[in-house]
C-alpha cells in the first residue's frame, strides 16, 4: 500500500527546513532508522553532499540518519534496500534528468507501490504526478522524457500562487498557465499552496495543512478543496 507525503515546499516562511512537517513525519516515518535522500534537484546549484547534509540535520531531530543516493555505486540497489525515501526540491528538470540518467524511475515506482514510505517536497512532489509538465522551474537541462512516477492520477503545481489583487504584474498567473496546459492535455492539475501537503494511503489521497488547494480539470471551472478532504477527480 502506498504511503506518501507530497508537500508543496520544504520550508514555510519563518521556520527551519521541514519544521512545519515534523509532527507528520514523526508518524509517517515511525520506526525508520535510516533514510535514503535523493538530492538530484540541487536547489541553487548546491552540491549533492551539501544538500544531503541539510536533510540529515533536519532528520537528526527525529533520530533518523540520512544517506545520499549519490554515495552508492548502484542507486537502484540503494533504493531497494532502504526503509524510506525522501526526494528534495530544487529544479524539476534536473531532478527528472538524473532519475533517467541513473535509470531509477521504475525502481522508485516499484518500492512506492510496495509501501516504502516516501516524502517529496517541491520538485520531489512534482515527480509524483503523471508527468512533470506543471513545474514552475526553468528548463535548465533537457530530460529524456517528462513522464514521472504516476503515483497519483494528476499533476502537482507546487508553490501555487493566487493572483495578487491590485498587482500591475503583466506576466501570466499560475491559473493562466495551467489553462494553457489544458488546451493540449487532459491530465488534472492540483495547485498546492505553501504549507500544504497530500497524504497518500493506498489509493486514498487527502489534502492536509492550513490552506485550500485548487483543482483544475480540463474544460471545467477550478474547484477549491478544503483541507482534510479526500482528493477525488
Active site residues: 122, 137, 159
In the chain, what are the domain boundaries? Answer: 3-225
For the cut 90, the answer to whether the pLDDT of residue 146 exceeds it is: yes
pLDDT, residue 13, reads: 82
Average pLDDT of span 44-61? 98
Query: What residues contact residue 230 under an 8 Å CB cut-off, 6+ apart?
Result: 204, 205, 206, 207
Do residues 211 and 196 make contact, with C-beta atoms less than 8 angstroms apart?
yes
Mean pLDDT of the residues in the chain: 96
pLDDT, residue 166, reads: 73
* pLDDT (tens digit per residue) in 5-36: 999 999 998 899 999 999 999 999 999 999 99
* pLDDT (tens digit per residue) in 116-145: 999 999 999 999 999 999 999 999 999 999
Average pLDDT of span 72-86? 98
Q: Report the C-alpha gap between 87 and 129 in whole angstroms.
A: 14
Sole residue written with cell 493562466 = 176
**CATH classification for the domain delimited by 3-225, as one of 3.40.50.1970, 3.30.450.20, 3.30.390.50, 3.40.50.880:** 3.40.50.880
pLDDT, residue 163, reads: 79
What DSSP character marks residue 21? G
Query: What residues contact residue 65 under an 8 Å CB cut-off, 6+ apart?
Result: 33, 34, 35, 56, 59
* pLDDT (tens digit per residue) in 149-159: 999 999 999 99
Amino acid at each position: 500500500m502506498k504511503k506518501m507525503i507530497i508537500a508543496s515546499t520544504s520550508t514555510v516562511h519563518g521556520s527551519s527546513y521541514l519544521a512545519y512537517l515534523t509532527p507528520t513525519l514523526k508518524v509517517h516515518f515511525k520506526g525508520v532508522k535510516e533514510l535514503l535522500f535523493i538530492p538530484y534537484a540541487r536547489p541553487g546549484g548546491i552540491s549533492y553532499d551539501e544538500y544531503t547534509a541539510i536533510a540529515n540535520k533536519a532528520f537528526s531531530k527525529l533520530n533518523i540518519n540520512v544517506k545520499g543516493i549519490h554515495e552508492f555505486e548502484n542507486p537502484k540497489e540503494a533504493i531497494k534496500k532502504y526503509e524510506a525515501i525522501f526526494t528534495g526540491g530544487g529544479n524539476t528538470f534536473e531532478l527528472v534528468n538524473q532519475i533517467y540518467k541513473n535509470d531509477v524511475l521504475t525502481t522508485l515506482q516499484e518500492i512506492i507501490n510496495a509501501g516504502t514510505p516516501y516524502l517529496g517536497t517541491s520538485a520531489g512532489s512534482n515527480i509524483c504526478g503523471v508527468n512533470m509538465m506543471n513545474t514552475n522551474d526553468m528548463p535548465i537541462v533537457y530530460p529524456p522524457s517528462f513522464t514521472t512516477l504516476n503515483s497519483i492520477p494528476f499533476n502537482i503545481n507546487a508553490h501555487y500562487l493566487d493572483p495578487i489583487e491590485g498587482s500591475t504584474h503583466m506576466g501570466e498567473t499560475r491559473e493562466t498557465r495551467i489553462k494553457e496546459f489544458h488546451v493540449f492535455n487532459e491530465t488534472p492539475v492540483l495547485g498546492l499552496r505553501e504549507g500544504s501537503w497530500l497524504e497518500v494511503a493506498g489509493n486514498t489521497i487527502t489534502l492536509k495543512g492550513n490552506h485550500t488547494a485548487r483543482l483544475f480539470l480540463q474544460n471545467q471551472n477550478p474547484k477549491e478543496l478544503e483541507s482534510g478532504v479526500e482528493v477525488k477527480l
